[in-house]
Amino acid sequence: MNREGRGATAPVTPLTPAPETFTGNRALDLEEGLIFEVGRPEVSGVDLPEPKGTAHRLGGLKRAAAPELPGLSEPEAMRHYVRLSRMNYGIDSGLFPLGSCTMKHNPRLNEKMARLEGFADVHPLQPLSTVQGALELMGELSRYLLALTGMAAVALPPKAGAHGELTGMMAIKAAHLAKGSTRHIVLVPESAHGTNPATAALIGYQVKAIPARPDGTVDAQTVRDALTPEVAALMLTNPNTCGLFERDIVEIAAAVHEAGAYFYCDGANFNAILGKVRVADLGVDAMHINLHKTFSTPHGGGGPGAGPVVLSPALAPFAPVPALVARDGTLTLVEEKGAAGAEQALGRMSAFHGQMGMFVRALAWMLSHGADGMRQASEDAVLSANYVRASLMDLMTAPFAERPAMHEALFDDTWLAGTGISTLDVAKALIDEGYHPMTVYFPLVVHGAMLIEPTESESKASLDLFIGALRDLAMAAKAGDKERFLGAPHYAPRRRLDETRAARTPVLRWVKPAPLSEAAE
């Protein structure tokens, strides 16, 4: 499909370049400054009378001048945050093609359940006898996660996938220490997500990279060759970040165990195999599950995520506290490491039991899908990814395309050779088409990678429109329309930003500009 396909019946009048506006607004795209820029210290949304007959007790510590906090009237405060929210792109505004990160629809039913007051208004320090229903929900979610993975235990506290990775790897370290082993190497394939080596390094392991074979997967023999007596664990993602199922995973797991090491599986891509494969059957010892990916809970602005980690019988005793256990018909949380039910616990990973609101949403999704529905969700996700890949392969180059893709479609930048246009330019031009860019330059094993994960929750119509936009861009790139790319995004409120500089030298403090009179001196 191309632009002609979108009902363009009237002849298009060529437009003159848009003039600058006085306000900086572009029609309904409203400009908004920082709260320090739009607020005034003297303004407040509330107007309380001075309290009478009270003496302050601050002595000489009382402020001489009011703090320079920005103030806004109530309507201004409302507009400030609504305007900011409209600058954001979210799964509720359009298809979110990020690869690796499974951005799927967050059903409103989940939100409704999470807002039930019995779930929304509980406090983590409430007596356990008053929150039995909430604990039961956590127990039920655990039961589902264990049934779906075939594993022996699950720890719900971790607050993100990376936090789950850390928990799982700490359980592996605890298991080695319990045996008196001081193994210090963790094997991580080159295609791994950055959190894998970061997790291993954070807890003191030395990371050794495992190369992939030309077909994008890990070879059991390569792993076997790297398995020295110093190796504590292998961290492997399945399906991997090239969107491929690791065919030799059972053989790899066996080799890892034979060498006395543990097998950590990065479960961020569980959405592709949900209800199809039980990871316990693959020989996995620990795996995190991103509830905000596979189980449709919102990612939010970088959170709140939830990354429960499932453990094999060998690692189950090392699960963190608090541990949820049933005693004499009541559910209880074992809070102390070393207490009955948590004798060998690795310790505590978060203040309380985890992200309750996300547990409710994830279980709501599971219950509304049922076993057959969850299986179909993963089948549809895989079908969508293959449809996207097949629909673009004549224009864009897809490595490892001899095999069907799992949940995501991977392209490299070979198709851009000689155009003077890069992967980054394509991503920016996609913003002009009204999409959040796909994941770019990851996985690192593919040059100029573009990774697209459409998920099961997109209709064929929305996939077709997205494919149409990318096809149109690909044809424009090949036709030499550099202008469309190098200056992109043309229509966004902010244009090309220096992202590297923003990340390396972030400006985190607003500094009040000097008044004009001083600046002139």
Ligand X SMILES: *Cc1c(COP(=O)(O)O)cnc(C)c1O
- Least CB distance to ligand X at residue 160 (A): 4
Based on CB atoms, which residue is closest to ligand X, 189 or 307? Answer: 307
Q: Which of 72, 91, 98, 101 binds ligand X (CB under 6 A)?
A: 101
Using CB under 6 A as the binding rule, whether residue 237 contacts ligand X is answered as yes
- Least CB distance to ligand X at residue 161 (A): 2
- Least CB distance to ligand X at residue 189 (A): 11
Residues 6-25 touching ligand X, rule: CB under 6 A, are none
- Give the CA dihedral 230, 232, 237, 240, nearest 10 degrees: 10
* DSSP type of residue 321: B
Using CB under 6 A as the binding rule, whether residue 189 contacts ligand X is answered as no
Q: Say whether the peptide bond before residue 14 is cis (omega within 30 degrees of 0).
A: no
Based on CB atoms, which residue is closest to ligand X, 269 or 391? Answer: 269
Residue 332's closest CA among 138, 121, 122? Answer: 138
Strands 231-237 and 185-189: parallel
282 is written with which tokens?
């693959």
| Contact map string, positions 196 to 235, toward ligand X, x by CB under 6 A | ----------------------------------------
Based on CB atoms, which residue is closest to ligand X, 297 or 391? Answer: 297
Distance between CA atoms of residues 450 and 472, nearest Å: 16
Residue 384's closest CA among 107, 97, 92? Answer: 97
* DSSP type of residue 348: B
Distance between CA atoms of residues 6 and 467, nearest Å: 13
State the angle between helix axes of 132-149 and 356-392 in degrees (0 to 180), rounded to the nearest 10.
30
Q: Which residue is nearest to ligand X (CB)?
A: 161
Is residue 236 classed exposed, middle or buried when 0-12, 13-18 and 19+ CB atoms within 10 A define those classes? buried
Q: Which of 173, 193, 353, 471 binds ligand X (CB under 6 A)?
A: 193
Residue count of the chain: 521
DSSP string covering 41-86: TT--S--PPPPSS-----GGGS-SS--------HHHHHHHHHHHHH
- Least CB distance to ligand X at residue 103 (A): 10
Stretch that binds ligand X, among 27-35, 46-54, 157-165, 480-488 (CB under 6 A): 157-165
Widest Cα–Cα separation across the chain: 82
Residues 284-303 touching ligand X, rule: CB under 6 A, are 290
- Least CB distance to ligand X at residue 287 (A): 11
- The dihedral of CA 148, 152, 155, 158: what is its sign? negative
- The distance of Cα 521 from the centroid of its chain, to the nearest Å, equals 50
Cβ neighbors of 506 (< 8 A, separation 6 or more) are none
Using CB under 6 A as the binding rule, whether residue 162 contacts ligand X is answered as yes
- Least CB distance to ligand X at residue 290 (A): 5
- Least CB distance to ligand X at residue 308 (A): 11
Using CB under 6 A as the binding rule, whether residue 238 contacts ligand X is answered as no
Using CB under 6 A as the binding rule, whether residue 239 contacts ligand X is answered as no
Based on CB atoms, which residue is closest to ligand X, 408 or 425? Answer: 408
Cβ neighbors of 5 (< 8 A, separation 6 or more) are 468
Based on CB atoms, which residue is closest to ligand X, 157 or 305? Answer: 305
Q: Which amino acid, 491? A: Y
Q: Of all helices (H) and strands (E), which one includes residue 262?
A: strand 262-266
Based on CB atoms, which residue is closest to ligand X, 231 or 268? Answer: 268
Q: Which of 161, 216, 308, 443 binds ligand X (CB under 6 A)?
A: 161
* DSSP type of residue 353: S
Using CB under 6 A as the binding rule, whether residue 354 contacts ligand X is answered as no
The answer to whether 236 and 266 have CB atoms below 8 angstroms apart is yes
- Least CB distance to ligand X at residue 517 (A): 49
Based on CB atoms, which residue is closest to ligand X, 268 or 406? Answer: 268
Q: Contacts with ligand X: how many residues (CB under 6 A)?
A: 14
* DSSP type of residue 26: B
- Least CB distance to ligand X at residue 96 (A): 13
| Contact map string, positions 307 to 346, toward ligand X, x by CB under 6 A | x---------------------------------------
Helix (H/G/I), strand (E/B), else coil: 286: strand
Q: Which of 106, 149, 167, 195 binds ligand X (CB under 6 A)?
A: 195
Stretch that binds ligand X, among 32-40, 160-168, 338-346, 488-496 (CB under 6 A): 160-168
Stretch that binds ligand X, among 68-76, 112-120, 159-167, 447-455 (CB under 6 A): 159-167
Using CB under 6 A as the binding rule, whether residue 446 contacts ligand X is answered as no
- Least CB distance to ligand X at residue 512 (A): 36
Stretch that binds ligand X, among 72-80, 111-119, 156-164, 382-390 (CB under 6 A): 156-164
318 is written with which tokens?
């090392």
Residues 254-273 touching ligand X, rule: CB under 6 A, are 266, 268
The answer to whether 100 and 241 have CB atoms below 8 angstroms apart is yes
389 is written with which tokens?
């890949």
- Least CB distance to ligand X at residue 14 (A): 44
**Which residues form the interface with ligand X (CB under 6 A)?**
100-101, 160-162, 193, 195, 237, 241, 266, 268, 290, 305, 307
